[in-house]
Amino acid sequence: MAESIQTKLDQGAGPAIRGTCSVVFCFDVGLAIDLNRATEILSRSEALPSPQREQLQLRRRAPKYFNFDPAPVRFLQKCEAVELAGFRLGAQCETTLYDFGGVSVAYSIPISGRLGDLTALANAIAESADLLTRSRANLEALLPALAPTITRPKLDDLTEDFVTYHIEQFGQPGENLEQLLLQNRALMAQILRGDTSPLSVQEIEEALGSRISYSQADTAILDFSSAFVIGSDASDLLDLIEFANVELLEMRHLDEVLDDALEEVYPILSQRIQGRGGSRKLRRVALLQADAAILFEGVNNAIKLVGDHFLARFYRQLTDRLHHPEWDASVLRKLGVLESIYEKLSDQQTNRRMEVLEWIIIILIAFEIVLTFVPLGHK
């Protein structure tokens, strides 16, 4: 009985909707990107798309210093028309470059009809790997031209994706938003999870458990891989969602880099550190530590969350949902281990230098004592 009710819900159930579904894929292409030089290369080439340097689009009053620092580079690329569950992909995708080496590729799908129509779309996006493949292929085609602007260019295998349903019209004019949300909880949870099967009460509560609103006419429901943003204008929220997922990807990438670094440097502790070889190993550990610390600071300082309290609360709630604090803690812990290893290696090298100096002093003292008892030759 429950299954038949759920099937009926999926087929055009729920309030009337109109808006845009945004699908974002995030990649890491290197340690850092020179955005000014990337802008120049893109602007000069007729074969490459024209870039834009855009700041966060604020829909509420906020100080000018609440922005990305530095502003990312955005440009549009043509993409092949694709149909997903009866919805048609837009003719362009938007690529965004961040100075810390992160890149996002976003697709837009106009949506209209009934809320229940999104269940098929959500399931199609979850099961299809086509958009991810297209995104990676487009990025690989751009990288040779942008390689001079990227420090240590390498397209990492790690990816992050996120789906946002920005609904500008939710129900008929005059309908109560809270009532509509209450009536469609099971359906909205099903869409967020991209699942066609009925969800348990606990899973519904979990999927819809993170919600934030600015006014009585808008709301955002945040899940770990998708979100509903209901309201007439949400460009600022969409920008933050995109950035938070790029940030998550960079934390995951950094966590893997630190794992590799620890595997590389830990055996050095059991080796005899001496001479120039020891200095090279110590410099290698210091370089790994510095690279990781620079990337961590670059990601966490890319956006200034001051001046707009709602956006700050939204971003904090979003990052909690994406488990940023756990990834940050993991990265900081491994940075601490790498620092500890560096200190131990440095202490070992210092101790060996001191031992050598002590032996030199002992030898000099012994030589001087011997000289006092050995008679000097007569002329």
Q: Do 89 and 126 fall into the same domain?
A: yes
Q: Do 169 and 200 fall into the same domain?
A: yes
Tell me the β-bridge partners of 51: 75
Cα-based angle 40, 42, 44 (whole degrees, multiple of 5): 65
Average pLDDT, integer, range 362-369: 84
Is 375 a domain residue? no
Q: What does the pLDDT look like over 302-348, one tens digit per residue?
A: 666 656 788 889 999 999 999 999 998 998 888 888 787 777 777 67
Q: Which two tokens stand for residue 206?
A: 């979990």
- Beta strand pairing call for 51-53 and 160-170: unpaired
With a pLDDT cut of 70, the percent of the chain lying above it is 84
Backbone angles phi, psi at 21, to 5 degrees: -100, 125
Mean pLDDT, the chain, as a whole number? 83
User: Rounded to whole angstroms, how far apart are CA atoms 156 and 277?
Assistant: 31
SS3 103: strand
Q: What does the pLDDT look like over 151-168, one tens digit per residue?
A: 989 999 999 999 999 999
Report the pLDDT value the prediction gives residue 3, as an integer from 0 to 100.
38
The DSSP code sequence of 242-302 is HHHHHHHHHHHHHHHHHHHHHHHHGGGGGS---HHHHHHHHHHHHHHHHHHHHHHHHHHTS
User: Rounded to whole angstroms, how far apart are CA atoms 169 and 215?
Assistant: 15
pTM: 0.82
- Beta strand pairing call for 226-230 and 160-170: parallel
Q: Do 65 and 191 fall into the same domain?
A: yes
Q: Do 266 and 136 fall into the same domain?
A: no
Total domain count for the chain?
2
Is 53 a domain residue? yes
- Domain end (from 194, 214, 234): 234
Is 371 a domain residue? no
The answer to whether residues 87 and 109 touch, using CB atoms and an 8 Å cutoff, is yes
* Domain extent for 169: 2-234
Helix axes 324-373, 275-300, angle to 10 degrees: 160
Q: Do 74 and 108 fall into the same domain?
A: yes
